[in-house]
Amino acid sequence: MQQKPSRVLVITHPLREDVAELAEKISSALREAGVAASIRSGEVAALREPDAIMVGDDVSSAPADLVLALGGDGTVLRSARLAAEADVPLLGVNFGKVGFLAEAETGELETVVSRLLEGDYTVEERTTIAVEAIGADGRNVSSWAFNDIAVEKAEPARMLELYVEIDGSRISRYGCDGILCASPTGSTAHAMSAGGPVVWPDVDALVVVPMNAHALFAKPMVIHSSSIIRIGVESVGTAGALIADGKRIAELTAGSTVSIRRSDRPVKLVRMSERSFPSRLVSKLSLPVDGWRHGRV
């Protein structure tokens, strides 16, 4: 059991009118129960405003103590950074297709609000990733991701020449489409589609996945979360791109290096369901648990 939240920030999908209407109803219900509630669009620019986490009432404005994200995984990802920076729990309600990061579905909204008001939920911490890129000109860019960090080729017709070091030891050099580093939470996103393993979210690890690598050793790797991953760009005349949770944040030219490690800012996810991770995995991905031989003699 948790304390009943006193200030809730509701973040909506920026292009869904139906979500905006439900957000108004939820906020009204929270206010009637004595909880201050504000609504903010899930657009990146809106979430970067200095007072993005502030919730106002008739008396004052103060930081939220819970973020409620209404949308698909994209909305939850955008909300996650805000929640992590403010060190407050995040609850996702799925209005998208898969909604792997969401805790509840649209039909459960009434129950969600009721349980929030009763403090009937738990909070679990999820590992996140920090990245720093240093360009050939010495300029650096820092960022953060909940799901994954990718170094990818910027030109579809060209391969990117990269090397990978883990904890100071060279692992391999690739001509490839790129390299992904995912958190356990992000292992079921881009990393899985690139051939990486599914990692249970409570495993203390990071995942490294080469993408379409032209090399003898190009296997995905599961490493300890305390490890430091270093990726160097060696391509001359072919640019790479640094991407955090699907957002391009920097161009990488020959001589650029990227350092990736576990962030010291976890995401605190609200949990209301007792469903296990394997059950969620089967449900969200519609896995054929009986296999193709089921029913055959």
Active site members: 73
Amino acid found at 158:
R
Residue 245 Ramachandran class (φ > 0 left, ψ -120 to 50 alpha, else beta): left
